[in-house]
Amino acid sequence: MENWETVVVETDLLICGGGMSACGAAVEAAYWAKKNGLKVTLVDKAVPTRSGAVAMGLSAINEYIGYSKGENTCEDYIRYVRQDLMGIARDDLVFNIARHVDSSVHLFEKWGLPIWTDENGKYVREGRWQVMINGESYKVIVAEAALNAMNEAGFEVYERVFICGPIMDGDRVAGAFGFSTRENKFYVFKAKAVCAQMGGAVHVFRPRSVGEGLGRSWYPPFNSGSTAYFTIQAGAEMTCQEIRFIPVRFKDAYGPVGAWFLLFKSRATSAEGGEYMAVRKDELNNWAPYGLVKPIPANLRNYLGMLDTDAGLGPLYMETAEAIQKLADEYKDDPKAFKKKMKVLESEAWEDFLDMTVSQAILWAAHNIYPEQKRSEIAACEPYFIGSHSGGSGAWVSGPEDLDTPYKWGVGDKVYGNMTTVKGLFTAGDGSGASSHKFSSGSHAEGRWAGKQAIRFILDNNEAPNISDDMIAELKEKCFAPMKRFEEFKGFTTDPNINPNYIRPMQFMFRLQKIMDEYAGGVSAAFKTSKALLERGLELLDMLKEDAEKLAAENAYELERCWENVHRMWQAEAHVRTMLFREETRWPGYYFRADTPKMDEDNWRVFVNCTYKDGEWVFEKKEVHHLVD
């Protein structure tokens, strides 16, 4: 567009994103870049202080090993993650995160994050791996440290700039292109390495919250699959694209349940009061060995609740009143102490939501729910793509050079950890696959690792990318095509929302969500799908991909929505194709292949990897290698 200024930014390392892993990359890369005379640039479509999955805050840090204190070992964490992912995890990546995560948590505390401690000064554990925090400002604290590191090194941070996609120089990443959502500026970032850390994806599937509730989700609605799109379009090998995550949360406001299960020791029950984890315990035998080892994988816990719902025993409930009462019972012989303990427990119950999901506290108030008096409804959410939590989707990245793993690579004889199969392209957090349960702290630690490794790569491969003026012109034309299309055809009809020449972004998103919901095992399909459904879904996605060329934007806001939907669409296609390739059901509770309803350990205890090359998807199996038994 003629009235959009072209701004070319040259840097050594480009960090795309502003969430926990990007902040980790920034704070680490800034240190090593300044030390070696290099330049780092960070670009975020929002503002890092309130960007990413931790934007609203958290009430707990979910990965803290306590290694130096002898509380747990990194090997323990490998076993935990592998168990929860039903055997499909990269031990090398999980170990690498585990050995660095405690240092990130200690940094958070140093930067000012309030972590709960007991009378002996030890962190208060919510569960084996979790520590409690006062975390409403968690992200602000972590982001400020990253921004300070960047500013002190004299590096630039670009806020409110949306990254559309990668720029390639042969088989090497050469930067990224995008636009400002606040000014009429088109950006080309030339870089010798890129950390693509723009989060996972939500709103690929139709959410439970529709109509006036549209936009409410458990995972942040502004995470639109940009990391997956970036890595796929760059030609990177992807892994575990079938492993989406479905959390069970308090219904409608998506309030967290972790504190209730782990700290308050609450039970989840059917409407009739049956505890489905006990009533349906025998079902776990069908998913051995994983169903027979504690902790029971998250997807199997989901699945047992879904069986109750399918049997007409819903809705499901969290027995909050019972849990609070039991915790206070030890003081029942002392009325004054009992009353005081009840007040403390009530306060902690509300604070859990006020720290991270204010809408749940509002919903409780609106529904006249007192958690100490009345149980509260829970439900399985719509599917999300989030490699940092209990899902596994992401890019296939190199393991660290010092571990005994077959999955490590680089350039020549040099290994660069967390580099994708594309030269110079690194990722972490939700962007790296098969290494789940890193959560916020692990994502930050992995981001630090990726940032340092990217600086190593640049020092060894310090050639400027080749990006011609003609390429820049083509990228600009591609970027603003939706706005040009709207201007060209908006007068064709009296209502700009109804036009045979284009499709508006909201209409496009609804169409994508309908396809995924009905054919790829969404909420309305009770998370079930089959070969026939997936094949029909792909037919409809192919048509949608054709119509993506007709997306139209009236302004910069809609232009961002158009590009977000393109990113979601590619994440959706990778997911459907990978589910179709894996001919078994391994993660019931996340999705159920009705035509292949059993787990097949002999043939499918493997990673399923895919690459988009020359307009075609290529799939292959990769062996699962263990570092520990």
Q: What is the pLDDT of residues 70-105, one digit of tens each?
A: 999 999 999 999 999 999 999 999 999 999 999 999
Please name every residue paired with 419 in a beta bridge, in sequence order, or none if there are none.
426
Pick the catalytic residue: 51, 217, 440, 499?
440
- Reported confidence tier of residue 331, pLDDT bands at 50, 70, 90: confident
Could you tell me where the DSSP H helices lie in 112-137? none
Give the integer Cα–Cα distance in Å for 574 and 239: 10
Q: Does pLDDT of 238 surpass 90?
A: yes
Residue 190 lies in a domain: no
Pick the catalytic residue: 249, 301, 511, 577?
249
Give the integer Cα–Cα distance in Å for 192 and 422: 12
**Domain, as residue range, for 510:** 479-599
Calculate the alpha carbon distances from 110 to 6, 71, 114 in Å: 41, 21, 9
**Burial readout 523-556 (b: 16 or more C-beta within 10 A, e: otherwise):** bebebbbbeebbeebbebbeebeeebebbbbbeb
**Amino acid identity, residue 384?**
Y
Return the CATH number at 483.
1.20.58.100
- Reported confidence tier of residue 41, pLDDT bands at 50, 70, 90: very high
**Amino acid identity, residue 114?**
P
Give the integer Cα–Cα distance in Å for 557 and 562: 9
Please name every residue paired with 432 in a beta bridge, in sequence order, or none if there are none.
395
Place of tokens 């520990």: 628
pTM, two decimals, is: 0.97
- Neighbour tally for 333: CB within 10 Å: 8
> Mean pLDDT throughout 338-342?
84
Q: Does pLDDT of 465 surpass 90?
A: yes
Q: Is 126 a catalytic residue?
A: yes
Residue 584 lies in a domain: yes
Residue 63 lies in a domain: no
Q: Does pLDDT of 138 surpass 90?
A: yes
Query: pLDDT tens-digit profile of 162-194?
Result: 999 999 999 999 999 999 999 999 999 999 999
**Amino acid identity, residue 364?**
W
**In the prediction, which pLDDT does 1 show?**
58
Domain boundary among 348, 380, 412: 380
- Neighbour tally for 499: CB within 10 Å: 19
Domain boundary among 380, 397, 416: 380
Pick the catalytic residue: 125, 267, 389, 448?
389
Return the CATH number at 341.
3.90.700.10
Query: pLDDT tens-digit profile of 503-541?
Result: 999 999 999 999 999 999 999 999 999 999 999 999 999
Give the distance, in angstroms, between the CA of residue 351 and the centroid of all CA atoms in the same chain.
Answer: 24
Residue 47 lies in a domain: no
Give the integer Cα–Cα distance in Å for 102 and 107: 9
254 and 374 inside one domain = yes
**How many folded domains does the chain comprise?**
2
Domain boundary among 347, 380, 413: 380
Residue 410 lies in a domain: no
Q: Are 596 and 585 in contact (CB under 8 A)?
A: yes
Pick the catalytic residue: 159, 352, 446, 518?
352
Calculate the alpha carbon distances from 287 to 241, 281, 393, 441 in Å: 21, 11, 21, 30
Q: Percentage of residues in the chain with pLDDT exceeding 90?
A: 88
485 and 376 inside one domain = no
**Amino acid identity, residue 557?**
Y
**In the prediction, which pLDDT does 2 show?**
66
Please name every residue paired with 172 in a beta bridge, in sequence order, or none if there are none.
169, 423
Q: Does pLDDT of 198 surpass 90?
A: yes
Give the integer Cα–Cα distance in Å for 529 and 544: 20
Pick the catalytic residue: 32, 129, 218, 396?
218
Instruction: Give me Rg for the CA atoms of the chain.
Output: 24
Q: Does pLDDT of 256 surpass 90?
A: no
374 and 487 inside one domain = no
Residue 458 lies in a domain: no
Query: pLDDT tens-digit profile of 277-317?
Result: 999 999 999 999 999 999 999 999 999 999 999 999 999 99
Q: Are 256 and 357 in contact (CB under 8 A)?
A: yes
Pick the catalytic residue: 59, 62, 302, 530?
62
Q: What are phi and psi of 477, to 5 degrees?
A: -60, -45
| Residues in CB range of 253: below 8 A, 6 or more apart | 216, 357, 359, 360, 362, 363
Using a 10 angstrom Cβ sphere, with 0-12 exposed, 13-18 middle and 19 or more buried, the burial of residue 394 is: buried
Residue 387 lies in a domain: no
> Mean pLDDT throughout 479-488?
97
Pick the catalytic residue: 12, 63, 126, 558?
126
Q: Is 62 a catalytic residue?
A: yes
Give the integer Cα–Cα distance in Å for 447 and 489: 44
> Mean pLDDT throughout 602-619?
97
Q: Does pLDDT of 140 surpass 80?
A: yes
Q: Is 249 a catalytic residue?
A: yes
Q: 377: alpha, beta or left, given left = phi > 0 and alpha = psi -120 to 50?
A: beta
Q: What are phi and psi of 312, to 5 degrees?
A: 80, 20
Q: Is 352 a catalytic residue?
A: yes
Q: Enter the tokens of residue 480.
A: 């603003």
Residue 463 lies in a domain: no
Give the integer Cα–Cα distance in Å for 411 and 287: 41
> Mean pLDDT throughout 578-585?
98
